[in-house]
Structure formats: structure tokens, C-alpha cells
A and B are shown apart, each in its own frame.
Chain A
Amino acid sequence: MKRSEEESYRDYVVARTDVMRRTAYLLCRDWHTADDLVAITMVKLYRHWSRIGTESSLDAYTRRTLLRTWLDEKRRPWRRHEELAETLPDTPDPVEFAVVSRAQLLDLLSSLPPRRRAAVVLRGYLGLSLEETAEILGCSVGTVKSQTARGLDTLRAMAAGTD
């Protein structure tokens, strides 16, 4: 990698590390694991920086890599204690969760299956569109839309259970 490219990589990492760490934490609920996920993602990014460093879709690439790194981790045989979901929810209404405390919010999030949790983080925390979320998670927009109600029902039921 050329020195100028490496400088731009450094700038990008510095600028994105905070939000990436927070995103990773929302997925895994452990700061050390979050750091590992972000570090792995950024090293992968370094390897391809010469090709993608100037792409407008760089952020999307980074998010996708982080998500896949985390999902890969979840698929390891000794970590198969969570059920993978085929469905993706839309973002819930803030009013519906007004009674949920901050800590309960994270607990609720953790209780979602990995892909559903990823969808909530992508849409709710990163503010991505349905299209962007579907692209990162590798499913169609139609699938995302059609499964929205089911996902929200799941979250509503869990929120009700915290009362």
C-alpha cells in the first residue's frame, strides 16, 4: 500500500472507530469482543484498501464486513446457542418502548436472534434504509418488508414482558 493510501486508511479508521465499536457492542454486548470484531474488520479493510478506499460505498462495505465478521463468530460450533432468524424486522416505534429502561433496551436487543438483532442495529442505530439493510444482510427488500410485522410483534411481546 502506498504511503498516501495508508494515511487515508488511518484517517478513516480514526474517524469511524467510535461508531463501529458502539455498533459492535450492540451486537455482542461485550466491549472486548466488540473491539476484537472491529479490529478484525479494520484489518480486512486494510487488505482491500487500495481497491475500495476511494469508493463511495466504503461505509457500506465496512458495515457489511463487521456484520459478517460477527455472524461468522456466531456460527462457530461452540457458540451455537442462539437461533438464527430468517426474518428481519422494521424499526420499532419509540413510543412502544417508552416504558423500557435503557438497560432493558439492551437486554431486549440481546434476546433477539442474531440476524434480527443485526437488523435492529442497522436500522435503529445506524439509520440505514430497508434497501441498505437488506443488502448487508443478504436478503431482498421484499423479504424485509414482508417480515416487518412479525419482527415488531416479537419486540412488542418482549417489551410487554418487561413491565
Chain B
Amino acid sequence: MDKRLFDEAMGDVPPATFDVDGLVTRGRRAVRLRRLTSPATATGAAVVVVTGVVALTLTGNDGGPATGVGSAPPKITTGPSQSSRPSQPSNPTPAPPALCSRPNLETPAQLMPRLRGAVQQALIAQRPSLGVSPHPKAEYPTGVRHEALEFYQVTGDVQVAEPICSGDGYFMTMSTTSVPVEGEGTLTVIVQPDFYADLPPGDCESTTVTPEQTSCELVTTPDGDTVLRTTARMPGGVRQNRVDIDRADGTAVMVTVEDSTGGIKPGGSPTASALPLTLDQLTAIGTAPGMTLFP
């Protein structure tokens, strides 16, 4: 019994359902978020926070498109330095939150369609003129294509009919956005528990900050959600707005938009003249009441 026998037994190998860019993106996020669970990072953050915080209201002046009609983005606070992070207890061994012990937790089968509705509502509130359609990359597993805003489980071990706290899960949706005159882009939303995979948001001093990143700030909403807001411009000109949200209830939400239907890959070309949503709008979408594992 040798390698050749096994290879012959396996036959044709199907295309992988992941690529190196996706792994790097997930890796960056994991590293960034891991830093906040380490005692050393928490100590550093505690030193920063004694300088105090100031409150500010974000009104959409972040270089993105005008908001137009929609609900107001949440009021948020930020530290004096864009790279600082409010102090919070270190949590080197994440554990399910108390909410996991309550009865009648949703299952992924219930969660995913509800999240779709929540995103849809939030989009209408933030930018009603934004159109969405299926994205060519919204295919998982291979051969199974998903509708616009439809959530699907990419990885994790929580079973579709089991309570959401019974295992890790990674639920995402990817859609093509369209705005008259401006063109088409990409909207991606990922929701997952932050108590299984070291997933509180990171800070702007993280070593994972890339040369493509053009801005970064960490803010806290009145509800206690922390939001890492970043912008990036890739070689080739594709731009991205991204928010990584650590909700107070233990839900991690990432919302990104690119001005390209090809996503954030280096070397791609913009397919829109502007990003479809601002950081404020992304923050409002990601912190909408329904964007949680615990409605």
C-alpha cells in the first residue's frame, strides 16, 4: 500500500472550495483578533485607555458615497488615537456567553434566512437605491450557487438543525451590488460566534495591517459593540470599505464592500466609480438589531 494506490483510489480531485486569498484574509483576521485575547495586548491597551476617550458622531464624511435616505448610523466613541483600543478584560480562553444557556436558541437553519432579512432591511434603510444580485463567487459547496443576500455556512462544525451554540460556524453571503451610473461592486457579510475562534476585533496597531490599508480606526457603539473600521486600496485600484464588529452579545460580524465585482484581489480593476456603501453605512448594517446570533 503506497501513495500511488491511494491516489488512484481517490480518482479525480475536485477543485478546492477555498483559495489562498481567502485563507490570507481569514488568517489576517484571526491574527488581528487573537491579539486582543492575549494578556500582553490587554496590558498595552490598558495603558492607552487612561488618556481618556472622546465621543463623536460619525456622519458619513469618510470618503464614501452620500448616504441619502436611511436611518442614522449609531453614535460611536473612539479613543484619542485611531490606533488605540479601549481596555477590556483579556480573555485568553474564549467561552460561550451566558446567552448560550438560554432555551430555544436558533439553529443555523433558522438563523441564515433571518440574517438575510436583517441585511435586506438594513440595506433598504441605509441606501434604498442600492440593487443586489447574485455574485458569481457565491458558490458553496462547489456547484451550489446562492441568491443575493442568501446566507450559507462555509465552515465550522455546528450542524444545521442544532442550537447555534453547539459548535463553531461561519455564515456568509456575497452579492453583487449595483448603483445607477456608478456601476457594480461586491457586498460580503460574515456572521459567526466570536467565542470559539478568538474573534473579538483587533486594533490598528496589529501586525496584520497591510500596505494596502489606507485608514483604520477602532470605535465603540453605545451598545458596547466594538467596530474596527478600515479602508484599503489594492494594486490595480480596487478599493474596499470594511468593518469588523464584535457585538457585546458574542456575535462577530464582518461587512465589506468593494468597488469591483471581482472582490479585493490584487490586480483587479474597479467596476464602479465609487464604493457602494460608506463605513458608517456598513457599521449601521453590521450593528442592526437583527445582526446577531441571539435575537
Q: Is the interface of A mostly helix, strand, loop or mixed?
A: helix
Cβ contact within 8 Å between A97 and B26: no
B146 nearest CB across to chain A (Å)? 15
Q: A26 near B: Cβ within 8 Å?
A: yes
Q: Which residues of chain A are near B34, meaning CB under 8 Å?
A: 47
Q: B205 near A: Cβ within 8 Å?
A: no
Q: A127 near B: Cβ within 8 Å?
A: yes
Cβ contact within 8 Å between A18 and B13: yes
Cβ contact within 8 Å between B26 and A102: no
Cβ contact within 8 Å between A94 and B17: no
Binds A, one of B2-10, B72-80, B108-116, B172-180: B2-10
Q: B223 near A: Cβ within 8 Å?
A: no
Q: Which of A6-41 contact B (CB under 8 A)?
A: 6, 9-10, 13-14, 17-18, 21-22, 25-26, 31-32, 35-36, 38-40
Q: B40 near A: Cβ within 8 Å?
A: no
Q: Which residues of chain A are near B27, meaning CB under 8 Å?
A: 9, 42-43, 45-47, 49
Q: Which residues of chain A are near B63, meaning CB under 8 Å?
A: none
Q: Complex Cα distance A25/B10, Å?
A: 8
Looking at B9, B24, B210, the one whose CB has the most chain A CB atoms below 10 A away is B9
The number of residues on chain A lying at the interface, defined by a beta carbon within 8 Å of a beta carbon of chain B, is: 47
Q: Bin the interface of chain B by size.
A: 35 or more
Q: B31 near A: Cβ within 8 Å?
A: yes
B245 nearest CB across to chain A (Å)? 20
B252 nearest CB across to chain A (Å)? 14
Mark each residue of chain B from 1 to 36: 1 if its CB lies under 8 Å from any CB of chain A, else 0. 111011111110110111010111011101100100
Report the nearest A residue to B27, measured CB to CB.
Answer: A46
Q: Which of B138-173 contact A (CB under 8 A)?
A: 141-142, 155-157, 159, 162, 166-167
Report the nearest B residue to A3, measured CB to CB.
Answer: B211
Looking at B28, B157, B211, the one whose CB has the most chain A CB atoms below 10 A away is B157
Mark each residue of chain B from 191 to 207: 1 if its CB lies under 8 Å from any CB of chain A, else 0. 00000000000000001
User: Given A21-B16, A46-B30, A125-B6, 11 more contacts at CB 8 Å?
Assistant: A10-B20, A14-B20, A36-B156, A39-B18, A46-B27, A49-B27, A91-B1, A94-B5, A105-B9, A121-B6, A124-B1
Q: Rank and list the top 9 A-B pairs by shortest CB-CB distance, nearest first.
A: A46-B27, A102-B9, A35-B17, A36-B155, A39-B18, A32-B141, A105-B9, A125-B6, A124-B1
| 11 A-B contact pairs sorted by A residue (CB < 8 Å) | A1-B208, A6-B210, A21-B16, A31-B14, A44-B30, A45-B27, A46-B27, A78-B162, A97-B1, A124-B1, A124-B6
